[in-house]
Amino acid sequence: MSDNTAAIEEIRELLGDRLSTGSSIREIHSRDEAYSTPSLPDAVAFPETTEEVSQIMRICTKHKCPVVPYGVGTSLEGHIVPIHGGISIDTSRMNQILEVHAEDLDAVVQPGVTREQLNEDLRATGLMFTVDPGANATLGGMAATRASGTNAVRYGTMRENVLALEVVLADGTVIETGTRARKSSAGYDLTHLFVGSEGTLGIITKLTVRLYGQPEHIAAATCAFPTIDDAVNTVILAIQTGLPMARIELLDELQMKGMNTYNPDMNMAEKPYLFLEFHGSPAGVEEQVASFRDIAEEFGVQDFEWASKTEDRNRLWAARHSAYYAGKSLRPGAEGVVTDVCVPISELAECIRGTQEDIAASGLIAPLVGHVGDGNFHLLILVDPESDDELKRAKELAHNVCRRALASGGTVTGEHGVGTGKMRYMEEEHGPAYAVMAQLKKSLDPNNLMNPGKMVQVN
Amino acid sequence: MSDNTAAIEEIRELLGDRLSTGSSIREIHSRDEAYSTPSLPDAVAFPETTEEVSQIMRICTKHKCPVVPYGVGTSLEGHIVPIHGGISIDTSRMNQILEVHAEDLDAVVQPGVTREQLNEDLRATGLMFTVDPGANATLGGMAATRASGTNAVRYGTMRENVLALEVVLADGTVIETGTRARKSSAGYDLTHLFVGSEGTLGIITKLTVRLYGQPEHIAAATCAFPTIDDAVNTVILAIQTGLPMARIELLDELQMKGMNTYNPDMNMAEKPYLFLEFHGSPAGVEEQVASFRDIAEEFGVQDFEWASKTEDRNRLWAARHSAYYAGKSLRPGAEGVVTDVCVPISELAECIRGTQEDIAASGLIAPLVGHVGDGNFHLLILVDPESDDELKRAKELAHNVCRRALASGGTVTGEHGVGTGKMRYMEEEHGPAYAVMAQLKKSLDPNNLMNPGKMVQVN
């Protein structure tokens, strides 16, 4: 009997039928939304409490059985693929919103709570949770990948929005990192060590997240530009001017074509677009809008369209959040290879220009969208999964995009994370610091059981 | 010959007369501004480059000689006291501003650059560095203690304002953490691990810090309240309303008395005061001010005084930054025992109320100031250093303040750090997470040479 089998038997005693070895459940937990090779877990556990996660970890450490935490499987770099088998720990039953402290602008939630669930729950309080990746991801998964989204430019990423964590370590120890105080100088910042650690150091079982008051007034708009360069230069100048935009998103011509295809209601010009949102008091928003218009007009802006009604705004941002699927609709049946570089804003225009030349040279279809206020943009490179040649060209294209970002002083992943897809760049991006990451991994997970084979190579 | 002597000889070969064993230099490096027992280093090194710091660390590791990094010695918890002797590494000669990227709103500096030096240098650019502890501390020291100051409520602490670091590790390895990109999901967040690590994991040799555009319009004010409760409740409501105040500082009656004594120009009522600042467009500031006034009037605000001219504002904040020395002027010759708790804003009024009762019961003089927008406040407990009884009562008072903060879900140190003074609370504040901190320390500093005896106990 292999060690994993022994672990599974003990976990079954603990969880009963909340431990599944059925093939369809294992299949679901074998892949995320990335184009990467699936790999089955030996079993899937559905714990409901921190204590159960802790017991699972004690059992798995005893039997040296790997574990991979799983939210809803919307990651894009193969993070949750159990490449060494073992137990997939699905947090979907840990989906309670435990506390909302309206007066402190924070909430305490279990890791399986999704961002839409939390915002639905908050609606009546006048508060909002701001981090919004495209998918309706779980907060545990978002913390683990240091996710962000369309309004990080104003409200920050998960890095800024997680105040404290409860984490189960490899040996089953339960720790709490941080407090609900807004700042602290007490000790090493373990919260930030676990945010972005992709399940390789511990399993997040509780999160305290920052909330914001819903803005008094919101104005959203879309506007088209003659060229993508004009759109990007508008963004750069607006950021440098210090305009506190809540959202400023770039979509290229091809992406707009996909949006029109995927969203039957949309009927927008197939030109480079910015999607914008401004938050504040009525007078403050008016000022921001006027300043933005002045800048945009310098770059030949066309077709300002305002979405003032809530439902129009919601439709706009729902469309933006569908960008991944909209992009895929440009080539039904294709798989998507996604890039995620982020560069200093001063390098953004040059970086996008070079990227577009690379796309043209590749002969591939690759719409571009970006959280350009952060210097972060994505390609969705569409490939026929049956064509080795296309896949090779897609990987070359993605590789060039990454190399250019590194040469520009940027990072290969602004918000998707490392998973298996970006490991090859870690040495180059981090230099000698990458060895320090491996040291930390070894220190906290000496048996290499926590999502092994991801983030850092140890042994 | 002891190992430290051998290390000193090798470092002297490297640095020449930039390695000092003179008693007055050692004396200066034996203490910070805390009331704690001084301890002399065996020598003080004044490196000028990262490479020199790296060589010093190689030598010290070879000879198992402890090191303590030193900025300008303004820390308040004994952080830089070489309690196990060894080398004090003074960064004052590493004081170059290396790069200012106005277009990316960041700057790259050496660790010995002070906050005033950086802002002086930035003045012509229209940019500012915002973190402002009372003292004119070095940025390296501020990063190492995760410092903040009067405007963290709007612009964040060093946690939010350090984008990337260069760090020399115990074995002399030089690593870079982070990039100039505004966000990244690439690997463990080493930047945040070193920010706040108080020199116990490595020596910061370069920092990339975030800059902000100087606000278009600034309004500053002072206002008095009938009771400290009224002032605190005004702050709480203003924060909960989401008012984006740049500064909101509380000073109690006693502190105001000290301010009047210390600053000959000031002649303000000895009542609980808030010192305020609003940043934004002219219309935006006007809105903020009006909203704040509405709230303050609910709590019986008196004597709004506006400082509209730059020199009046500067005078106001210079006075606020002198609070520590002003407090000390209440009792010339006294030593100060400083507290630094930070609690969730909803707990603040109750926490300050209980603290005031404790002060009354102690019979000691202890003015109160606070960055109350963050939930952070300080007592400066003034004691006759010759009186064991007073010192005992002061420590009891400080202890009660810390225990109350922990019971309120807060932290014993909002911005001063752990040093030696707060170590006794670490186990209670962090629980099992404190052992994880020790594990990380052992992993990165296996010989316990980096500021040993601080932050975590390892053996």
Residue-wise pLDDT for A57-79, tens only, equals: 999 999 999 999 999 999 999 99
Cβ contact (<8 Å) for A439 and B444? yes
CATH code reported for the domain at A97-213: 3.30.465.10
Tell me, which fold does domain A217-326 have in CATH?
Alpha-Beta Plaits (3.30.70)
- How many CA atoms lie within 13 Å of A296's alpha carbon, on the beta-carbon side? 24
What sign for the dihedral angle of Cα B344, B347, B349, B352? negative
Residue-wise pLDDT for A81-131, tens only, equals: 999 999 999 999 999 999 999 999 999 999 999 999 999 999 999 999 999
Contact between residue A186 and residue B402 where contact means Cβ atoms under 8 Å apart = no
Average pLDDT over residues B74-95: 96
pLDDT given for residue B264 in this prediction: 80
Q: Which residue has the tokens 């890791």?
A: A111
pLDDT given for residue B2 in this prediction: 66
| CA–CA separation, B333 and B143 (whole Å) | 31
Could you tell me where the DSSP H helices lie in B64-187? Answer: 115-122, 139-145, 152-155, 158-161
Cβ contact (<8 Å) for A422 and B148? no
| CA–CA separation, A54 and A431 (whole Å) | 34
In A10-136 the beta strands, taken as DSSP E runs, fall at: 19-20, 43-45, 67-70, 87-90, 97-101, 106-109, 127-128
Average pLDDT over residues A163-188: 97
| Chain B residues whose beta carbon lies within 8 Å of the beta carbon of residue A370 | none
Of B186, B189, B375, the CB nearest to A182: B375
| CA–CA separation, B188 and A194 (whole Å) | 8
For A331-416, CATH number out of 3.90.550.10, 3.40.50.2020, 3.30.70.2740, 3.50.50.60 equals: 3.30.70.2740
| CA–CA separation, B237 and B239 (whole Å) | 5
**Whole-number CA gyration radius for chain B:** 22
pLDDT-derived band at B458 (thresholds 50, 70, 90) equals: confident
pLDDT-derived band at A134 (thresholds 50, 70, 90) equals: confident
Model confidence at B364: pLDDT above 60: yes
pLDDT-derived band at A459 (thresholds 50, 70, 90) equals: low
| CA–CA separation, A95 and A110 (whole Å) | 5
Cβ contact (<8 Å) for A103 and B345? yes
Average pLDDT over residues B12-22: 98
Contact between residue B204 and residue B111 where contact means Cβ atoms under 8 Å apart = yes
| CA–CA separation, A371 and A377 (whole Å) | 6
Pair of tokens at residue A90: 């699905």
Nearest residue on chain B to A417, alpha-carbon basis: B185
Concatenating the DSSP letter of every residue in A179-236 gives -SSS---SS--HHHHHTT-TTSS-EEEEEEEE-EEPPSEEEEEEEE-SSHHHHHHHHH
Burial B15-31, CB ≥16 within 10 A → b, else e? beebbbeeeebbebbbb
Chain B nearest C-alpha distance from A217 (Å)? 13
Tell me, which fold does domain B3-92 have in CATH?
3.30.43
Among residues B100, B94, B128, which one has the least CA distance to residue B113? B94
pLDDT given for residue A2 in this prediction: 66
Of B175, B240, B405, the CB nearest to A103: B240
Residue-wise pLDDT for A15-56, tens only, equals: 999 999 999 999 999 999 887 889 999 999 999 999 999 999
Nearest residue on chain B to A373, alpha-carbon basis: B182
Angle CA(B138)–CA(B144)–CA(B150) in degrees, nearest 5?
A: 65
Q: How many CB pairs under 8 A join A and B?
A: 276
Cβ contact (<8 Å) for A444 and B436? yes
pLDDT given for residue B426 in this prediction: 97
Count how many residues are written for chain B: 459
pLDDT given for residue B284 in this prediction: 87
pLDDT given for residue B36 in this prediction: 80
Phi-psi domain of A250 (left: phi exceeds 0; alpha: psi -120 through 50; beta: other) = beta
Residue-wise pLDDT for A238-280, tens only, equals: 988 889 899 999 999 999 999 999 988 888 999 999 999 999 9
Mutate to test the interface with A, among B100, B184, B241 (most CBs of A within 10 A): B184
Q: Where in chain B are the domains?
A: 3-92, 97-213, 217-326, 333-422
Average pLDDT over residues A416-435: 96
Average model confidence (pLDDT) across chain B: 95
| Chain B residues whose beta carbon lies within 8 Å of the beta carbon of residue A437 | 187-188, 190
Q: Which residue has the tokens 């400080």?
A: B398
Residue-wise pLDDT for A289-320, tens only, equals: 999 999 999 999 998 898 878 888 988 898 88
Model confidence at A220: pLDDT above 90: yes
CATH code reported for the domain at B333-422: 3.30.70.2740
pLDDT given for residue B410 in this prediction: 97
Average pLDDT over residues B244-250: 94
Among residues B75, B107, B105, which one has the least CA distance to residue B88? B75
Model confidence at B277: pLDDT above 80: yes
Burial (0-12, 13-18, 19+ Cβ within 10 Å), A253: middle
Average pLDDT over residues A187-198: 98
pLDDT-derived band at B141 (thresholds 50, 70, 90) equals: very high
In B143-252 the beta strands, taken as DSSP E runs, fall at: 162-168, 174-177, 203-210, 212-213, 217-224, 247-251
Model confidence at A1: pLDDT above 80: no
Per CATH, B217-326 and B333-422 having the same topology is answered yes
Cβ contact (<8 Å) for B101 and A344? yes
Nearest residue on chain B to A174, alpha-carbon basis: B432
Contact between residue B137 and residue B114 where contact means Cβ atoms under 8 Å apart = yes
Model confidence at B241: pLDDT above 90: no
CA distances from A296 to A224, A230, A242, B206 (A): 10, 8, 15, 37
Average pLDDT over residues B270-282: 94
Average pLDDT over residues A205-215: 96
Residue-wise pLDDT for B186-240, tens only, equals: 999 999 999 999 999 999 999 999 999 999 899 999 999 999 999 999 998 998 8
Average pLDDT over residues B403-423: 96
Nearest residue on chain A to B345, alpha-carbon basis: A104
| CA–CA separation, B43 and B38 (whole Å) | 15
Cβ contact (<8 Å) for A189 and B190? no
Pair of tokens at residue A19: 């431990």
Model confidence at B459: pLDDT above 80: no
Burial B343-375, CB ≥16 within 10 A → b, else e? bbbbbbbebbeebbebbeebebbbbbbbbbbbb
Model confidence at B265: pLDDT above 90: no
